[in-house]
């Protein structure tokens, strides 16, 4: 094309930041006084895990660019060392602790309003679906953001495996509960296990994704291994990690953060720069690795795919 029209999901290449600026491993070792083994980087840990992961042969998967390919891609080291995973702690540097999580064997329990409740192992589930890679924007309610290549399959495919009844209106997903490894789960003030959900029409939307991999490899533990939800038009807290339970219901579930503070974290949690969090603006965001803030887009740049889901829900609290 002679004329380039910028799409809503694109970000200028000038926003890219060199990965080398983020972490100098040798300096970090010297400064903190740790041994090399204790500071093994996420990529090295994933390489070690890959040899033992029976799903490793499935990666990388073919790229699906139908929903756009936003740029610039976030450096892998950034996306795998700056994480929210509250089961392991409330700081962003929980990736080391998350390596304690064992992801084989891993069983997902399916129940609620389904033809027949059942359990299925992660590798048996992977054998029933077709993996693909999608590059999605990710927007945290804390206003940081990233652009990463997830591997996985549409939530629609999971629904088809589960065979819910036609009367089901919501899909509910829960994170593993294992306080012996996930130390924050020992805190009784939180409504564990982490619970999230989507309305059935959201789950069947083409954008809704179950991710099992990242950067062409099996999912890192700190990012939600072995499978997590990715709903890129919603704030990141909706994207439940390390899923062990899938239920179908006709009643809207009470989700984790909604249960803690419903005035700040609602069920729908769609991204909208014009609707501020009660304690901070959502108008801009800071991509990982960048010192600049950029404008946040309605539905995180995916309005053309999902805005229609909410045409009849305008009376509800859709954006926070």
Q: Please choose, from the candidates 66, 67, 71, 74, the residue with its C-alpha nearest in 3D space to the C-alpha of residue 10.
A: 71
CB atoms within 10 A of CB 184: 16
Question: Tokens in use for 281?
Answer: 């603006």
Is residue 14 over pLDDT 90? Answer: no
Model pLDDT for residues 191-213, shown as the tens digit of each residue: 999 999 999 999 999 999 999 99
pLDDT of residue 87: 97
For the ranges 5-14, 30-39, 119-128, 247-256, the lowest mean pLDDT is seen at: 30-39
Yes or no: say if 61 and 133 are a contact pair by the CB < 8 Å rule. Answer: yes
Is it the case that residue 147 has pLDDT exceeding 70? yes
Distance CA 179, CA 87 (A): 8
The predicted model gives 146-160 an average pLDDT of 98
In what side-by-side order are the strands of the sheet with 107-112? 118-121, 107-112, 243-249, 170-175, 195-199
Instruction: List, in sequence order, the alpha helices (H) in 74-206.
Output: 76-79, 95-98, 122-126, 155-162, 200-203
Asked whether 13 and 2 are in contact (CB, 8 A), the reply is no
Q: Whole-angstrom Cα distance, residue 43 to residue 228? A: 19
pLDDT, residue 16, reads 42
**pLDDT score of 225 more than 70:** yes
Buried b (16+ CB within 10 A) or exposed e, 240-263: bbbbbbbbbbeeebebbbbeeeee
What does the pLDDT look like over 167-182, one tens digit per residue? 999 999 999 999 999 9
pLDDT number for residue 115: 98
Whether 9 has a pLDDT exceeding 90, the answer reads: no
pLDDT for residue 244: 98
220 neighbors 201 (Cβ within 8 angstroms): no
Q: Which residues contact 294 (CB under 8 A, 6 or more apart)?
A: 11, 15, 284, 285, 286, 287
Quote the CA–CA distance of 252 and 125 in Å, as a whole number.
Answer: 26
Provide the percentage of residues in the chain whose pLDDT is more than 90.
83
Q: Which residue has the higher pLDDT, 46 or 122?
A: 122
């Amino acid at each position: 094309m002679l004329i380039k029209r910028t799409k809503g999901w694109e970000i200028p290449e000038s926003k890219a930041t060199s990965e080398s600026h983020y972490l100098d491993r040798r300096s970090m070792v010297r400064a903190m006084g740790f041994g090399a083994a204790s500071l093994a980087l996420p990529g090295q840990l994933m390489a070690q895990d890959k040899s033992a992961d029976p799903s490793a042969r499935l990666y990388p998967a073919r790229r699906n660019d139908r929903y756009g390919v936003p740029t610039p891609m976030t450096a892998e080291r950034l996306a795998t060392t700056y994480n929210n995973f509250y089961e392991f702690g409330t700081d962003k540097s929980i990736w080391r602790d998350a390596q304690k999580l064992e992801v084989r064997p891993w069983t997902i329990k399916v129940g609620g309003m389904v033809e027949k409740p059942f359990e299925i192992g992660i590798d048996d589930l992977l054998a029933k679906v077709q993996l693909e890679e999608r590059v999605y924007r990710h927007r945290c309610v804390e206003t940081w953001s990233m652009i990463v290549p997830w591997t996985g399959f549409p939530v629609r495919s999971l629904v088809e495996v589960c065979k819910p009844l036609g009367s089901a209106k919501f899909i509910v997903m829960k994170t593993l509960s294992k306080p012996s490894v996930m130390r924050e789960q020992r805190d009784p003030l939180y409504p564990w296990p982490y619970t999230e959900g989507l309305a059935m029409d959201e789950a069947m939307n083409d954008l809704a994704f179950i991710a099992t991999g990242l950067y062409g490899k099996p999912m890192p533990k700190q990012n939600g291994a072995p499978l997590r939800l990715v709903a890129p038009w919603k704030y990141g807290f909706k994207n439940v990690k390390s899923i062990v339970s899938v239920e179908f219901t006709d009643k809207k579930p009470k989700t984790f953060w909604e249960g803690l503070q419903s005035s700040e974290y609602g069920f729908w949690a769609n991204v909208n720069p014009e609707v501020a969090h009660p304690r901070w603006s959502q108008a801009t965001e800071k991509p990982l690795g960048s010192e600049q803030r950029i404008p946040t887009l309605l539905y995180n740049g995916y309005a053309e795919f999902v805005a229609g889901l909410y045409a009849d829900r305008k009376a509800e609290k859709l954006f926070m």
